[in-house]
Amino acid sequence: MFDPTVFDNLKVIVEGYIYDLDLEKLIVVTDRKDTIDLATMSRLYSITIAKEDNNKRYVTIDIKMSQKQLAGELLKTVKEPGCVVKLSFHEKGNGQEYDEILLKKLNKLWGQHIIKLFITKELTGSISHFSILYLVEFCTLFGERENDIEELLHIVDHAITLLQVNFED
């Protein structure tokens, strides 16, 4: 019988939680990927959500387990295997101004982790388009401990709340 890994268990918990919110019409799942990278022997689960009334901002939640963690769990050489979690908030707009309120809230919530801001300008065509990416890379590994699972679900809740932060068009 298949023994699920930490990655599989976290993926199922987050996916179930998010799809329950989708069924309740609180969010909309716009994309989902479950990837096995054969080059690095790693796993990545990625789910993208948005608010139905806001198509300019969406968030992607990534859960990744490296080859070292995956092999360590299967071979029982890693005591507490875990996954890396990353949030990516995406905005589309005509200007290069970023949402200072969102950036401040990200720093207030997760300032002890890595927070990056990327502004990209698309130069093709007659009109310039800007894409703004707010990236939160959590520095801790998430495992199957109860605190880790609760924290992961809190991250999802915060991400959904931050989708509603007002920003200038």
Residue 103 lies in a domain: no
**pTM over 0.85, yes/no:** yes
Query: Residue 9 — φ and ψ, nearest 5°?
Result: -70, -45
**Residue at token pair 């050489």:** 77
Domain extent at residue 78: 6-91+137-161
pLDDT value, residue 11: 97
Name the nearest CA neighbour of 49 among 8, 87, 75. 87
pLDDT value, residue 117: 96
The token duo for 115 is 């927070």
Residue 33 lies in a domain: yes
**Number of domains forming the structure of the chain:** 1
Residue 155 lies in a domain: yes
Q: Which residues pair with 50 in a beta bridge?
A: 28, 58
Residue 99 lies in a domain: no
Residue 80 lies in a domain: yes
CA within 13 Å, CB half, 144: 11
How remote is the C-alpha of 27 from its chain's centroid?
15
Residue 129 lies in a domain: no
Report how far apart, in Å, the C-alpha atoms of 2 and of each of 5, 33, 143 are: 9, 21, 19
pLDDT above 70: residue 53: no
Summarize pLDDT for 103-154 with one digit per residue, the tens. Answer: 999 999 999 999 999 999 888 877 778 899 999 999 999 999 999 999 999 9
pLDDT value, residue 126: 78
Query: Residue 145 — φ and ψ, nearest 5°?
Result: -65, 145
Residue 109 lies in a domain: no
Residue 147 lies in a domain: yes
